[in-house]
Structure 1
Amino acid sequence: MSWLTRVRNSLSFGSKRETPEDLWVKCPSCSEMLFTKEYEENLYVCPRCEHHGRIGADTRLAQLLDDGYEVLPEVEVREDPLKFRDSKRYTDRLKQARAKNPHDDAFTAAFGTIEGHRAVVGVQDFMFMGGSMGQAVGSAFVAAAQRALDEKCGMVVVTAAGGARMQEGILSLMQMPRATVMTRRLKEAGLPYIVVLTDPTTGGVTASYAMLGDVHIAEPGALIGFAGQRVIQETIREKLPEGFQRAEYLHEHGMVDMVVPRAELRAMLGTLLGYMAPAQAAA
């Protein structure tokens, strides 16, 4: 069936108002116009250039976990402890972000199985204030790690962040050592901690739990780094190499263990958990 036939069958020509507004999506990499349904069926990966689009936490959890998983309760933290205000109040920014997202902050975790292997999966959502790490993200990470310890199962974290949340100042930076302590506890308990780096993973997240995994997997083309390329280039006063801070470059230079396409990610995580998880972690 040609694309023209699919479009014709999906449209109603009786009234212009009945035409779906989200019938097409434009690939941010190659600018190809994609049929939205096919784009979603292809796991939000462009079939032409294989650009891996950004996806939300619920979509990611559904892609990775077997059916019947349990979404962990959202943590409660004190909001706006610094009474921060720039062009807007921090509380207003939070309300605005929550109106556009299904969760109260940027980190959502669930407990279930991946290919039959029990695991806690935490997902950072870039669509919520750039996935920035504040007290809510740090506390959600700690709670997810504690659930993995209680269940004696592996933990998988999917990162996507622009760094620490500036509106929480030093309190956001304190989440780095908090998360680091929990990764150490997982290691001491002999439980696997696997990190999936997606586009983009930068700043304080990269400087803490994103780079402390037993295995680091990256999606193709993902931007991964601490400081931005322009800042680095201006600091060292040298032109950066082609593909710098991209998943493939980091894999070539040993910072990432493997680059795995989204369609193969669930199977790879299941294989790793099967090798690394203790015997009782299998469902």
Structure 2
Amino acid sequence: MLLSEQMMVAICETVASGVLVLSRAAEMNGVSRRSLWKWLEESKRGEDERYLIAFPTDEKRPFHVAIARARRMAAIDIRSEFEARALRGHDEIVHFQGQVVWQMDPRAVGLDPDIREMLGYDRDGYLRNERGECIPVKQHIQPPVAAVVKVLAAHFKQYGDRVEQNINLRGGVTLGVQAVGMSSRADGPPAIPPAPPRPVLDVTPPPAALPVPEAIVDAEFSEPDATADTAPMVEEEFAAAPMPEPTKPEVVIRETPPPEYQPVMTDQARDLLTRLRGPVGLRSANPVGSIKATKPMRSAYD
């Protein structure tokens, strides 16, 4: 895209209208993103007079400054719309299950489609504008109280957040910053501050002993009177502790062990067991009572 003042002014107009994304505003006017950023860089250098444009007034200013002015104009419009919404609220289209809700014609509500058509209304009963388009249902949303308070605080001080700080200073107080010169190696090492004074112990002498009265001295060293009545000593009687009752031995009930299990054997089982315990030649698999039961089993060598 060839560089021209009309193209740069058009981009600034698009940004001022509310398109704050610069690359999108440039593409809407047929300028590529790369060309836009190249123009901005060349404008910041200030070496080419071709980047001086008349926006928003007739005064010439660089292209990047005009872009910043256009963004400022868009921000002012955003603030104005916010203040208008905080004053009157806004209308919002009603949706139900993701679909727009359309207004019904109040004259055709409750009528059958045939009766609506006979009376000259639409069969679906929806309200339409002069172009025949359905009109959506809108709901009025009141502005939030916090937004209203913010708008009032921007114009009136009594609605803003007030913070009062009271600082009371007594005596000679100097406020400020004291400037101290920079020290160098020529000044030598810093001076060592003097040692703090050593503490002094104040030894207080003990108080003087008070004189003891004579009556107390005579009473302390006088001998006891043998004729004085002394209270007889009473021996205390101690009750014997009760003997604990003998505990009964624990009774353990032991059950007799069950008798040893004796399997019940039939005649056939007893006969088979007898033949298994006997000689090998007398073993036979014939049942009890058979003729072959007493015959010895033949081997493979018979």
> Relative to total residues, which structure has the larger strand share, 1 or 2?
1
- Is the structural similarity TM-score above 0.5? no
Bigger relative contact order (CA 8 A; separation at least 6): 1
> Relative to total residues, which structure has the larger helix share, 1 or 2?
1
TM-score by length of 2: 0.16
TM-score by length of 1: 0.17
